Structure 1
């Protein structure tokens, strides 16, 4: 029987057999830590804002979507 080693959140090493069911959930502490790390990585990107070109494209798409909705209402859909 093959054995696997996994690092538990408490920092202790546990040996499990491959037939043992692995718990795929993360405890609240690990979820919080992952969230903090992701925010640290992406805060700079969020602070940069949306580039002007993307904002223009989004405005154009919104205008086109607005025209399509008006056309759909006019056609009785």
Structure 2
């Protein structure tokens, strides 16, 4: 067990399970690169259409609900 602690301190990783600043920085850069690529891909057309339908005026939906008031 003591060997593991001494190896961790030699590798630059803090003893209480935390990550040093260099490792945190590397992880941050890699995550940004990954997510930047996803953002550049944009929204697929079918998702954009679905979002437009969901954002459409609620009058059309309200009219349908008025017709179907549960008395069928």
TM-score (norm 1): 0.47
Larger Rg: 2
Higher strand share: 1
